[in-house]
Amino acid sequence: MPETIGKPCDCVYVDLQEQARKEKEDLERMLEENRRKVEEAQRREALEQQRREEERYKELEEMQRQKEEAMRKKKQEEEQERLNQIKLLGKNKSRPKLSFAFGSK
């Protein structure tokens, strides 16, 4: 009878070891999966941040282009206005020629 009593205890001990090993493997698998998910989330966030920065850079470039275009247009309009004034005032003169008649009676 002593032999049969020792055997079930060994089986329980082996079962407990196997259960502990499986639980440890499950925990390690869960930790690895969580680590992978965190890394993937960080990668996605980094890509999103990069996309936002690129979009902002394009907006700033467009604003700069529009500003330069407006300045170029304003300068062109001012030059055209200056040319129109030259035409009105006479060739290459900055003031109109005025004639005064003294004692014409």
The count of structural domains within the chain is: 1
Residue 43 belongs to what domain range?
A: 12-81
Band (28; pLDDT cuts 50, 70, 90) = very high
* CA–CA distance, 51 with 38 (Å, rounded to integer): 20
How many residues in the chain?
A: 105
Contact 59, 52 (CB under 8 A): no
Residue 5 has pLDDT above 80, yes or no: no
Q: What is the value of pTM for the model shown?
A: 0.52
Residue 15 neighbours by CB distance under 10 Å? 10
pLDDT at 99: 65
Domain-located, residue 72: yes
* pLDDT value at 80 more than 80: yes
The answer to the question of residue 49 being in a domain is yes
At residue 1, the pLDDT reads 44
43, pLDDT greater than 50: yes
pLDDT surpassing 80 at residue 96: no
- Residue 16 in any domain: the answer is yes
DSSP per-residue letters across 11-30: HHHHHHHHHHHHHHHHHHHH
